[in-house]
Copies of this chain bind each other. A is one copy, B any other.
Amino acid sequence: MFVIMVYDVGQRRVAKVLKTGRRYLNWVQNSVMEGELSVALLEKLKMELRNVIDHDGDSVIFYTWRSERYTSRDVLGIEKNEIAMIV
């Protein structure tokens, strides 16, 4: 399934959430990742993140679709991920 993960977590946990997410998804821009994941891997990612985040203050949202790709994805400005790949 196609997954978009957006997160808003305390500064101390940002690096850990980023590192965990990157093992499953592609970094898109600050606090956003996306990619194709099986149901099992998505559950694994969620389980790992549950051990990382502060459940009283942090927020991680997963949007998921069964269809392979989203209908449309438009970027205004730059595609930050390209910069990340060049650096």
A71-86: contact bitstring with B at CB < 8 Å (1 yes, 0 no)?
Answer: 1111111111000000
Q: What's the number of copies of this chain in the assembled complex? A: 2
Answer yes or no: A9 CB below 8 A from chain B CBs. Answer: yes
Could you say which of B31, B58, B72, B74 contacts A78, with CB atoms under 8 Å apart? B58
Residue of B nearest to A67 (CB): B71
B70 adjacent to A64 (CB under 8 Å): yes
Which of under 10, 10 to 19, 20 to 34, or 35 or more describes the interface residues of A? 35 or more
Query: Could you list some 16 contacts between A and B, CB below 8 A?
Result: A8-B30, A31-B31, A31-B32, A32-B32, A50-B76, A54-B77, A55-B77, A57-B78, A58-B78, A59-B80, A60-B75, A60-B77, A62-B75, A63-B70, A64-B70, A65-B70
